[in-house]
Structures are given as C-alpha cells and as structure tokens.
Amino acid sequence: MLDHYPLINYPLTTDEEDALLFYVMRDISTRVNMVLTDEEKEEYFEKVAIRDGMRPEDVAWEMYNSEALWWTVLYANEIHDYLRDWYKSEPQVLEYAIDKYGSDRIYALHSIVDDYGNAVGTVNEQGATYSANSVTDLITVTCLGHGYTVGDRVYLLMMSGNAVTNSYTVYSTPNIDTFTVEATITANTSGACTAAKITADKLWLYNGNGITTSSYPYTVNGLTNYEYELVENEKRRHIQVIKPKYISDFVATFKDRVKNAKY
C-alpha cells in the first residue's frame, strides 16, 4: 500500500566509526494532510524545547513513553528533511556549515541585521581590500564596481589587518572601484574585507512600525555564515507536539487516512 510514497533517508544510529547510518523509509506525509484550525492547534498541541543531542525518538519517549511515535513529532512540525530542519548541537551546526559553505567560507559575511534580527544589508563580495590612514583618518576600500554613493551606510567586516569591523558612512567615492569612510585610525593598516550595503528603508523596526531615519542612532551587526546558521538553528529549538491525551486518537485517525489516501 505504501509503495507509491517517496523514499527518504532517516538517520537511525551511528556505526563503530561514529558515522550516521540511515533507515530508508516512505514519506507518508506527502499524501496525508490533516488540516487544523488555529483553535484546534491551540487545543491539540503544546510547545516543548529541544535539548542538545535530542532526537525525535527522545522527544517521543519523554512525551508518550514510546520511541516508536517519533514520526508524530516530525509530522506535527512539518519536518521532511531531518538533517536540515531538526535542531542541532553547536558542533553539528559547525559541521553542517562546513558542508554547506566550505571550511574556508564559514566565517565569511552572510548578512547584516538590525537589533531585531531583520536583514538590512546586501553583501558585496568582490575581492574587497582596504587601507587605513592614521593621518587622514580615512579607510579607503577597493571594491570593483561597488555602486556606493556619498552618505550610504556600509558594514565592513575586516578579514585581516587591524581596522575595526563596524558600520560606516561613505565619505567619498573617488572612482567606481573605490570609496572611503571616516574612522579613528591609531596606526596605518591594510588587509582584506567584505563590504555590505545597509538598506535604509529596511532599518529600525519599532513596535512593528517601519521608521526611516538618516541619523542611524543605533548599531547593526554582521553575521558570518556560521553565525547565521546558529541563529537559524535556534529558531528550531522550540517545537510543537501533540498533547499526550490526544496521541492515540491522532495515530488512529492518521492510519485511517493513510489506508484511504488516493495515490
């Protein structure tokens, strides 16, 4: 009956060399859709927090005293890709980031965010370099075809040298490939950097209202690829599960729908 459902790989355990072993199973969720109203969700689900190292089996054991009900945990959260969408420990996030971006790119700039975590910058990585002059207190950035104009806000992630990673205002644009920013420079330095333009009309959300200001009286933060994955991973820590008093009825209803599902 289940031959028509697509196959997926589910991490089951590890071997003697600590490598993941996978169980090939049918993804029955692709054909069984149990739609609930907001009121029903409030009644049937409760929130739980995943601890480091917990698997769906562990959550199912704590909630229902049965590891066999792990699939209900994934179904309740619409998780189809365990490796991508399940909460990870920090070492697992690092491993995932290396696989996704490469070991030489995990600390490259991913995005710029405001105090509320909203993305407010466009990362420009065209082999940018900089030189900082302690006499003029200017940092000159070379970034081919940068497109910046005087007054633009830019976040500079300094990859080498001693200049400070920070958000700056473009002071001048000598040509299409270079721009300068003002900074307090204690000693001449130079190195590689990544430039990200901060988009003014997306900045500073306050009580849900977008406010545009030219004075920028706040700070923004740059996230590396690894930091971005840490932030995204934290969003997955809190999940919803079916309340124990409803789990038997849910399983029975689900099995009935699988039996009668149209392929």
116-130 per-position pLDDT tens digit: 777 777 776 667 899
Binning pLDDT at 50, 70 and 90, where does residue 5 land? very low
Look at residue 201 and tell me whether its pLDDT is greater than 70: no
| pLDDT at residue 250, rounded to an integer | 87
| pLDDT at residue 206, rounded to an integer | 41
Q: Which residue type does 222 have?
A: G
Domain residue spans of the chain:
7-87+238-260, 109-232
For the chain, the first-to-last Cα distance in angstroms comes to: 9
| CA distances in angstroms from 71 to 23, 63, 214, 227, 244, listed in the order given | 13, 13, 51, 30, 14
pTM, to two decimals:
0.68
253's tokens:
């209803």
Q: Residue 239's CB: how many other CB atoms inside 10 A?
A: 20
Task: Find which of 23-37, 108-122, 123-137 is predicted with most confidence, using mean pLDDT.
Answer: 123-137
Lowest-confidence segment of 146-155, 199-208, 231-240 by average pLDDT: 199-208
Q: Which residue(s) pair with 181 in the sheet?
A: 139, 170
| pLDDT at residue 35, rounded to an integer | 64
| pLDDT at residue 14, rounded to an integer | 44
| pLDDT at residue 207, rounded to an integer | 38
| pLDDT at residue 50, rounded to an integer | 94
38-93 per-position pLDDT tens digit: 777 788 899 999 998 899 999 999 999 999 999 899 989 988 888 889 999 999 99
Q: How far is the C-alpha of 81 from the C-alpha of 222, rounded, in Å? A: 28
Q: Name the residue with higher pLDDT: 222 or 94.
A: 94
Q: Name the residue with higher pLDDT: 7 or 68.
A: 68
Q: How far is the C-alpha of 193 from the C-alpha of 109, rounded, in Å? A: 9
Q: Which residue(s) pair with 223 in the sheet?
A: 111
157-191 per-position pLDDT tens digit: 898 899 999 889 899 999 999 999 999 999 999 99
Residue with tokens 């545009």: 212
Q: Which residue type does 183 have?
A: A
185's tokens:
């420079």
The residues, ordered by sequence, that sit 6+ positions from 33 with a Cβ below 8 Å of its Cβ are none
Can you give the three-state secondary structure of 132-162, one letter per residue?
A: EECCCCEEEEECCCCCCCCCCEEEEEECCCC
Binning pLDDT at 50, 70 and 90, where does residue 203 land? very low
Judged by DSSP in three states, 180 sits in: strand
Look at residue 4 and tell me whether its pLDDT is greater than 60: no
| CA distances in angstroms from 19 to 22, 80, 163, 194, listed in the order given | 10, 21, 42, 36
Q: Which residue type does 78 have?
A: E
Residue with tokens 């739609």: 35
The residues, ordered by sequence, that sit 6+ positions from 54 with a Cβ below 8 Å of its Cβ are 87
Domain with residues 109-232, CATH architecture: Beta Barrel (2.40)
